[in-house]
Amino acid sequence: MTVTIRGIDFQEDLNNDMGLEFYNLSHRYGYQCPNWPYFRDVRIERMHYMAKSGVLSQTLTTTMHVTTHIDAPAHVVQGTPFIDEVPLPHFFGTGLVVSIPKNKWEQITGDDLEKACGHAIRKNDVLIINTGWHKHYEDGDYFPYCPGLVPSAADWMIEKGVKVVGHDTQANDHPLATAIGPHRNGPLLPHLADEYKEWSGGIAWDEAFPEWEPVHNKIFKAGILGIENVGGDLDAVTGKRCTFAFFPWNWDRGDGCIIRLVAMIDRGQQYRIEPGESF
CA angle in degrees (0–180, nearest 5) for 271-83-240: 35
66-to-110, 120, 167, 197 alpha-carbon distances in Å: 26, 31, 14, 29
pLDDT digits (tens, 9 = 90+) for 62-107: 999 999 999 999 999 999 999 999 999 999 999 999 999 999 999 9
On the question of pLDDT at 9 being above 70, the answer is no
In this prediction, residues 129-143 reach a mean pLDDT of 97
On the question of pLDDT at 2 being above 80, the answer is no
Three-state SS for 245?
A: strand
- Using DSSP bridges, classify how beta strands 262-265 and 256-258 pair: parallel, antiparallel or unpaired: unpaired
> CA–CA separation, 179 vs 175, rounded Å?
8
- Considering only the C-alpha atoms of the chain, give the largest distance between any 2 of them, rounded to a whole number of Å: 70
pLDDT digits (tens, 9 = 90+) for 155-188: 999 999 999 999 999 999 999 999 999 999 999 9
> CA–CA separation, 260 vs 70, rounded Å?
10
CATH superfamily of the 2-29+64-265 domain: Putative cyclase (3.50.30.50)
Q: How many other β-carbons are positioned within 10 Å of the β-carbon of residue 43?
A: 10
On the question of pLDDT at 21 being above 60, the answer is yes
Q: What percent of the chain has pLDDT over 70?
A: 96
Give pTM, 2 decimals.
0.95
What's the confidence (pLDDT) of residue 12? 57
pLDDT digits (tens, 9 = 90+) for 202-211: 999 999 999 9
Domain boundaries, the chain: 2-29+64-265
